[in-house]
Structure 1
Amino acid sequence: MADGALSVAPSRGAWRSLPIAVRIGILYLAARLVTTVFLLIAAELSGVGSRFGDGATIADLMLGWDAQWYWFTAVHGYPDTLPLTDSGLVAENQWAFMPIYAYLSAALGMLLGSWGAGAVVISLVAGYLSCLVLYRMLRPRTDDSTALWAVLFFAAGPLAAMFQVGYAESLFLLWLYLSLWMVMQRRYGWLYLLIPLMGFTRPGVLAFALFLGLFGIWRWFSRRREALPVREIVHIVALGLLAVVVGFSWQVIAGIVTGDSGAYLATELSWRRNWIVGSHDAFLPFDGFLQAVGFWFGTWGVGPVVGYVVFAASVLGLAAVLLFEPHVKRLGVELRLWTASYLVYILAVFFPQSSIFRLMLPISPLWGAVAMPRSRVWRVAVLGLCLLGQWWWIYNVYALGNTFWQIP
């Protein structure tokens, strides 16, 4: 037994002696190998009645769903005339997809031979770099082991397939995590570049504007504990305004190109009509979630009253976790304020359906709180649940994808 203990010690020492970029790289590659196996199995299971049909390949899955929209955007650009349905309403179109990922994938794809190759490489590389930044964000608040376990949960989590498919999530997370890290370090200058990159990669920069506003208020009231120079106030205010401008600029651009000031919102709402028959085409903050309560709880046969009670209890429960849960509190005020800001943003603009799981990726720094209990049994169990959840998600949205709740 003693010999066994001595044999383990050098291996742990060798692991810890590796540069952190190498250790994270090993974990990330292992996670990607598992995801690849899951996708290969899903392709084999794809049948006549599934979205991808009989004989689907892993490439079909990796470049399916919204990846097709990004490809279509890169090839055809954005329409100057909005397409209409037979009933005269705005149809789904490219204006719902931001340009950076689509065109960056096309540029890299010119070197690699196809848009799809460029898209997958960008997702893979951005996912790895996001893991590195996530570790750097968590490390000052916890120990090395906890930060690495959090990175592993992130890299192998239920939505880990996003790191190797043609979606903009990986790239957006990289810009977001870099932005949060810069705020945590009070290095605001980089945000003048990162905020536009974030805003034109995928929607969500308005949540960052709310975060900067809340962060600025917190910095003001905590200025006696940490000095608040005028220069920092100017940066926070200017960056908050920049995030607001960037957040609304895509609507303005779509309006100018199409001649319809409501082009972007009408495009986004065209997807919502797939869920709510007869849904109105006017956007109202928080209306999507309220409509969804009635839709989902009615579908489940429970009734909207119970739904509203569950919804209110869920909001209060999440607020309590962010305010009082000790592991979450250890993450620091910046990550807690970001999580709260993003959840408010989702409540305000989103109609919750199966894509809600994907849209929760930006609050992945909470994996740091999940990893804090030092019990190996706990951590291995969480990792097992992550892999189980990943397979369940891949199986439903890629092997099947044939009903309304199997959309990534």
Structure 2
Amino acid sequence: MTPAVSVGGRGRIALRIGLIYLTARVVTTAFLFLAAELATSGTRLGEGAGIGDAVTAWDSQWYWYLSEAGYPSELPRTDSGEIAENAWAFMPLFAYLAKVVGLPFGSWAAGAFIVSIAAGYAASLVLYHLLRLRLDATTSTWAVVFFAFGPLAALFQVGYAESLNLLWLFLALWCVMRRRYGWLYLLIPLMAFTRPGVLAFALFLALFGLWRWFRRTREPLAAREILHIVALGLLAAASGFAWQLLAAAVTGEPGAYLATELAWRRNWISGEAAFAPLEGFVTGAEFWFGTMWQLPPVLGYVTLAVLVLGAAAALLFVPAVKKLGMEVRLWSASYLVYLLLVFFPQSSLFRLLVPLSPLWGAFAVPKSPVWRGGVLTLCVIGQWWWVYNMYALGNAAWQVP
């Protein structure tokens, strides 16, 4: 466990993380500015775009739209009668919070920027304290450096809900690691109405409960803790399905939410009509290897199997990952299983992997300056690659954030 930290010590930590985060945001700002300058008329930003256009690009437009127009009571449909893309795919908390914060500035974009960048700093600070429960101060700081400068760090400055969701997630994981379950009754609904994915947290709590049960002789497991874990798992599961039920109630269509999500999948594969667990990744492996890259589809299945087995092996056996603690490993496994069950692999997969950010701690464990400097260099290079492709170009199927 982390040793007790004085108020002055907590202040110094907050300042140190703040300086790291501010430096990282300067780098990201430069990247976004350059990407906007490089954007042409054939790109999503368009010619003559500014950095403000990057803040409100892509899904940010959907968050802005739902903050102004709300959710449709009648689902829009395509010419062929299928349910079209609509606001039900996006949770409300970030959109409306950005609207409230932006009121003094007369701009939703300003509110979205403030919420994202502030939540990103808070998430960085919580991530430090979360990792500090298992790692030393220097290693935890380096993990935050990788997080703040990471390939997807531009999300801390655009109108996406990721920063806010990471804050709730890191706080929830910290609470579980400290066995402070009370706050989870608030954090779980906040996660559920910020971004999809709280069902992964329900699975995590189930696995965590089993782990606590089997090791109860080493760490006593009181009846009260059992009740908390079970109740919170049920709350996470109920919260995960609540949005689907709400969409069905408002629109009068039982499958409104799933049909809305599948509307985006039709941009990749036509004729998609139903959802089945695992189907997205299996179909995606065939699509990318067979249709897009003109390779034998069996290579896609083999690659998928290798990636799944490799991820499992890393979480089970890699010493640097094991140092992070069972809670982080169980969360990572749960979230990967969730993605495997529900997601269709495409360019947004990079963004959807961001909730695995506590694993940056494993990259920070090796104490070699060469290693840490190399990881940081790759983070910055990866960040530019992502910003350049998604914002400067953004004109191909694999250039959607």
Normalised by the size of structure 2, how large is the TM-score?
Answer: 0.97
CA RMSD of aligned residues (A): 1.0
Instruction: Determine the C-alpha separation between the residues in 2 that align with 1:53 and 1:361.
Output: 27
The count of corresponding residues between Structure 1 and Structure 2 is 392
Describe the shift of the 1:121–1:401 C-alpha distance in structure 2 as closer, same or farther (beyond 3 A): same
Counterpart of 2:279?
287
Q: CA deviation at 1:132?
A: 0.6
The answer to whether the 8 Å contact 2:169/2:191 transfers is: yes
**What displacement does 1:310 show?**
1.1
2:44–2:57 CA contact under 8 A, matched in 1: no
Which residue is equivalent to 1:192?
185
Give the whole-Å Cα distance in 1 for the aligned partners of 2:14 and 2:180: 22
Corresponding residue number in structure 2 for 1:170: 163
Q: 1:300 offset after TM fit, Å? A: 1.3
- What code does the residue aligned with 2:306 have? A
Give the letter for the 2:282 counterpart: L
For 1:366, the equivalent position in structure 2 comes to 359
Equivalent-residue separation in structure 2 for 1:402 and 1:297 (angstroms): 21
Shift of 1:53: 1.2
1-structure distance, mates of 2:41, 2:377: 31
TM-fit CA distance, 1:189: 0.3
Structure 1 segment 105-144 matched on structure 2, within 5 A: 105-144=98-137
Q: Tell me the SS of whatever aligns to 2:182.
A: helix
Matches within 5 A, 1:20-39: 20-39=13-32
Determine which of 29, 44, 61 is the counterpart of 1:51: 44
Correspondence for 2:252 among 246, 259, 264: 259
> AA paired with 1:67?
S
Query: What per-residue deviation string (whole Å, max 9, x for no partner) do you get for residues 370-391 of structure 1?
Result: 0000000110110000000000
Of 218, 228, 238, the residue aligned with 1:245 is 238
Report deviation, 1:30.
0.1
Q: 1:140 deviation in Å?
A: 2.1
Which stretch shifts more, 32-41 or 141-150? 141-150
Alignment of 1:233 with 2:230, yes or no, is no
**Aligned equivalent of 2:261, options 261, 264, 268:** 268
Secondary structure of 1:278's aligned partner = coil
Matched AA of 1:270:
A
Q: Deviations over 1:301-322 (max 9, x none)?
A: 2221111111111101110000
Amino acid at match of 2:280: G
Poorly superposed stretches of 4+, deviation over 6 Å: none
Structure 1: gaps (5+ residues): 1-15
Indicate which of 117, 135, 147 corresponds to 1:154: 147
Give the Cα separation in 1 of the matches to 2:193 and 2:160. 14
Deviation at 1:17, TM superposition (A): 10
Residues 6-61 of structure 1 deviation map (CA, whole Å, 9 limit, x = unaligned):
xxxxxxxxxx9970000000000000000000000001100122111110110001
Gaps of 5+ in 2: 1-8
Counterpart residue type for residue 338 of structure 1 = W
| 2:310 counterpart SS class | helix
Distance in 1 between the 2:301 and 2:186 partners? 41
Any idea what the Cα deviations from partners look like across 1:84-141, whole Å, max 9, x if unmatched?
A: 0000000000000000001111111112321111111000000000001100011121
- Normalised by the length of structure 1, the TM-score is 0.95
CA distance in 1 between counterparts of 2:191 and 2:155 reads 17
CA distance in 1, matches of 2:11, 2:128: 15
Find the aligned partners of 2:259 and 2:42 in 1 and give their Cα distance. 32
Pick from 383, 391, 397 the counterpart of residue 390 of structure 1.
383
Q: Residues of 1 paired with 2:283 and 2:185: CA distance?
A: 37
Decide which of 280, 285, 297 is 2:289's aligned counterpart: 297
